[in-house]
Structure 1
């Protein structure tokens, strides 16, 4: 029986109606899961560039491919937000030569100023025409800062949450789940949260900042940013923590406290 293996759906066979099992992708997948490419554009790797999302290696599922295409669309929209070129480029999720030209213009003209106060390790640099962490920081951090100002939340906390959740990969998909997407890893099992929402960088950053403001203003959360930060990871436990309902040292509650304090510590270590 011949195997049926379209790009992005590994292991399925003719007549097999079982949904492919996703393997973890996380952010900036070095194996190109979903269709990100290598620096030279001839294979799979952690970069967005011409050809990203147009084919995918074995092990990619439909969600992985959708996330990479969503990441490309996010990059295109951010380039238009920054007015990288005199005319807006298409935001169709296809990394074309037009997108590449706009990206290079942004990298040469605006990225150095935006990132001037940042230390960027060599392995996070973005070659011209490709998007990795250096360029993603420059594209999306100013957008995050806008929403932090809009809702008067500390911009460092919004940056820290985004760094922990996706490392600023606009097409990140949860490593252990198939329901968390985008810069802030919004969970699509929540009511009214769609994959398109989560992969929309403007929606994701706006909604994260808005939720932070809502919680810090509510008495249920103790007016404490520690609980607000933890809530982005596990809101039910964080609310119990804020209300003093978790008992340190107990077999049931200590693992919850350990997870949340670890998350908060990691966020605070990535604020700038």
Structure 2
């Protein structure tokens, strides 16, 4: 949580108008804009009350979106990657939404509330921007791409500027915790680093005896690696009152990830 209004609570909560995404309203919309998304003005003029973490996450999110647009190489790219969502960014987003997004998302079901208005980036467009990148890293490390997608969905809902719900030390697509050694905020908010590192960690854990060569324990390890290792080694018991909360949390996390695999 990074503001008193809980406007950036991570794990699926996209930025509220102005604070994170939109200053300009959607066409035909109200002055408040279309809702939780990134749009023109994001990263340029943070509203009063924004914390340093709000500003950093929003600008990093815009930078990530710009880099992803350039990676796809569609019309209107390259766009600047300086953390400002400009008219040029909007034009490239619209071109991506018209030409590439329908093909990438053709097998997905998204309710109407998750559709991105033209020129704005919410879940629908962010999925299309980052899923092909995630899939490349899954192939690189030979991990099931659906599991990498599921972890990313449950951690950030594909918001590249997500900030952790319970702490202000988890950032980015895969919510890497910056209290860990060598995990900087800049790295956690870099979508390429985050997806590469998550896929690599999944591969290394699967290959390790510590997590039982079992993808279920590997999934749980992204949430709490020490508990997942204990679970894999049979060191936790559902009949032990001290262990039950750990098992409940990990079972819940694994179930939520698997429910978001496609």
Tell me if both proteins adopt one fold, taking TM over 0.5 as the criterion. yes
**Deviation sequence 1:72-101 (CA, Å, 0-9, x none):** 000000000000236521111100111111
Pair 1:120 & 2:110 matched: yes
- Which residue pairs with 1:36 in the alignment? 21
**Deviation sequence 1:99-132 (CA, Å, 0-9, x none):** 1111111111111111111112110111111001
Pair 1:135 & 2:125 matched: yes
| Structure 2 Cα separation of the partners of residues 38 and 184 of structure 1 | 27
| Matched position secondary structure for 1:197 | helix
| Structure 2 Cα separation of the partners of residues 87 and 53 of structure 1 | 19
Q: TM-score, normalised by structure 2?
A: 0.91
Q: Following TM superposition, by how much is the alpha carbon of 1:179 offset from its aligned partner in structure 2, in angstroms?
A: 0.3
| Larger-gyration structure (1/2) | 1
| Structure 1 Cα separation of the partners of residues 231 and 68 of structure 2 | 37
Larger RCO of the pair (alpha carbons < 8 Å, separation 6+) = 2
- Which residue pairs with 1:111 in the alignment? 101
Match of 1:168 among 139, 151, 158: 158
Q: Following TM superposition, by how much is the alpha carbon of 1:37 offset from its aligned partner in structure 2, in angstroms?
A: 2.2
Match of 2:9 among 22, 25, 28: 25
**Deviation sequence 1:228-266 (CA, Å, 0-9, x none):** 000000111111111111122211110000000000000
* Count of residues in Structure 1 that have an aligned counterpart in Structure 2: 254
Q: Following TM superposition, by how much is the alpha carbon of 1:191 offset from its aligned partner in structure 2, in angstroms?
A: 0.5
**Deviation sequence 1:205-229 (CA, Å, 0-9, x none):** 0000000000000111111111100
Worse-matched range after superposition: 80-89 or 35-44: 35-44
- Cα RMSD (Å) of the superposition? 2.0
Residues 175, 268 of structure 1: alpha-carbon distance in 2 compared, 3 angstrom cutoff = same
Pair 1:183 & 2:173 matched: yes
| Structure 2 Cα separation of the partners of residues 202 and 208 of structure 1 | 10
- Which residue pairs with 2:85 in the alignment? 95
Pair 1:151 & 2:141 matched: yes
Contact 2:76 2:95 in 1 (8 A): no
Contiguous gaps of at least 5 residues in structure 1: 1-8, 11-20
Q: Following TM superposition, by how much is the alpha carbon of 1:57 offset from its aligned partner in structure 2, in angstroms?
A: 4.7
Contiguous gaps of at least 5 residues in structure 2: none
